[in-house]
């Protein structure tokens, strides 16, 4: 099943059962779901099979970063498991990204392949400590351009970077943004947040939303409220 919704609900749970319990409260016609490192490490591909069986398209958020051949093989494995989207770290370099792209194309698999630029948890000082003396935003732009030139379909970015990346990489280039807080929700530990509407207006193409939906008493009612905010 495919959906026109930009919403991707983060299933950040420590077990298959807990993740499926939430998935069973959501509608695959109105959102996609994201499986991250904790859930996948605990449950393995079973969780993907179970979510696909329920009709969901899945973003497998494992952020691969390794030598080109290893990353390409991992990306291909994810695509063969039928995921809708998978990601790598752009800082792994052009050859790493190109090799993954080529391997997917050769297999004829249409999985969306996107790259993380700079983790949004990183501060300017932390970036400098890794040896990158550039301004953080300039580094994000450089890595996004590199990702595009290396055949990536888009990037994971902060909604605050979406407008700049729309300029740099175009409207079609996917901008998948976490740190989204609907006007009814608490910020939690997220700092630099945007509402769904603000993020879409800034140029985000997909919105990753976790706790505002998964910790709501009625997750579908929360999804409804987000859809209403987007439609306003």
Q: Can you give the binding site for ligand C5P, defined by CB under 6 A?
A: 10, 12, 36, 119-121, 178-179, 188, 190, 208-211
Closest residue to ligand C5P, judged by C-beta, is: 210
Smaller CB distance to ligand C5P: residue 121 or 133? 121
Determine if residue 212 is labeled as part of a ligand binding site.
Answer: no
Determine if residue 42 is labeled as part of a ligand binding site.
Answer: no
User: How many angstroms separate the CA atoms of 2 and 56, rounded?
Assistant: 8
Tell me how far, at minimum, the Cβ of 208 lies from ligand C5P, in Å. Answer: 5
Tell me how far, at minimum, the Cβ of 1 lies from ligand C5P, in Å. Answer: 22
Determine if residue 34 is labeled as part of a ligand binding site.
Answer: yes
Which one from 27, 63, 134, 166 is the annotated catalytic residue? 63
Q: Determine how many CB atoms are found less than 10 A away from the CB of residue 98.
A: 16
Buried b (16+ CB within 10 A) or exposed e, 189-214: ebeebbbbbbbbebbbbbbbbbbbbb
- Specify whether the CB–CB gap between 100 and 113 falls below 8 A: yes
Tell me how far, at minimum, the Cβ of 76 lies from ligand C5P, in Å. Answer: 23
User: How many angstroms separate the CA atoms of 74 and 159, rounded?
Assistant: 28
**Angle subtended at Cα 28 by Cα 25 and Cα 33, rounded to the nearest 5 degrees:** 80
* Whether 134 is catalytic: no
Smaller CB distance to ligand C5P: residue 5 or 99? 5
DSSP code string of 150-216 = TT-SEEE--HHHHHHHHHHH-SSSEEEE--B--TTS--TT--S-B-HHHHHHHT-SEEEE-HHHHTS
Tell me how far, at minimum, the Cβ of 156 lies from ligand C5P, in Å. Answer: 6
Which one from 27, 66, 134, 166 is the annotated catalytic residue? 66
Distant-in-sequence, close-in-space partners of 177: CB < 8 Å, separation ≥ 6: 156, 157, 158, 159, 162, 194, 199, 204, 206, 207, 208
* Whether 66 is catalytic: yes
Determine if residue 12 is labeled as part of a ligand binding site.
Answer: yes
* Whether 105 is catalytic: no
Determine if residue 190 is labeled as part of a ligand binding site.
Answer: yes
Smaller CB distance to ligand C5P: residue 42 or 211? 211
Tell me how far, at minimum, the Cβ of 105 lies from ligand C5P, in Å. Answer: 27
Determine if residue 20 is labeled as part of a ligand binding site.
Answer: no
Q: Which residues are catalytic?
A: 61, 63, 66
Binding residues for substrate: 12, 34, 61-70, 120, 181, 190, 210-211
Binding residues: 12, 34, 61-70, 120, 181, 190, 210-211
């Amino acid at each position: 099943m495919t959906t026109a919704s930009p919403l991707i609900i983060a299933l950040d749970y420590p077990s298959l059962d807990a993740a499926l319990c939430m998935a069973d409260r959501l509608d695959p016609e109105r959102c996609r779901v994201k499986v991250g490192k904790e859930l996948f490490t605990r449950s393995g591909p079973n969780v993907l099979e179970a979510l696909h069986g329920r009709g969901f398209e899945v973003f497998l958020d494992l952020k691969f970063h390794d030598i080109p051949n290893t990353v390409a093989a991992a990306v291909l494995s994810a695509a063969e498991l039928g995921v809708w989207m998978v990601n790598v770290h752009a800082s792994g370099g052009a050859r790493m990204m190109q090799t993954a792209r080529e391997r997917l194309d050769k297999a004829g698999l249409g999985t969306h392949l996107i790259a993380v630029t700079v983790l949004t948890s990183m501060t300017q000082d932390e970036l400098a400590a890794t040896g990158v003396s550039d301004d953080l935003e300039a580094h994000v732009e450089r890595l996004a351009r590199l990702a595009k030139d290396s055949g990536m379909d888009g990037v994971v970015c902060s909604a605050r970077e979406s407008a700049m990346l729309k300029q740099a990489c175009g409207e079609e280039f996917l901008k998948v943004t976490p740190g989204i807080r609907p006007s009814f929700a608490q910020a939690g530990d997220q700092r630099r947040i945007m509402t769904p509407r603000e993020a879409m207006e800034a140029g985000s193409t997909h919105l990753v939303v976790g706790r505002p939906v998964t910790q709501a008493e009625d997750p579908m009612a929360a999804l409804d409220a987000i859809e209403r905010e987007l439609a306003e």
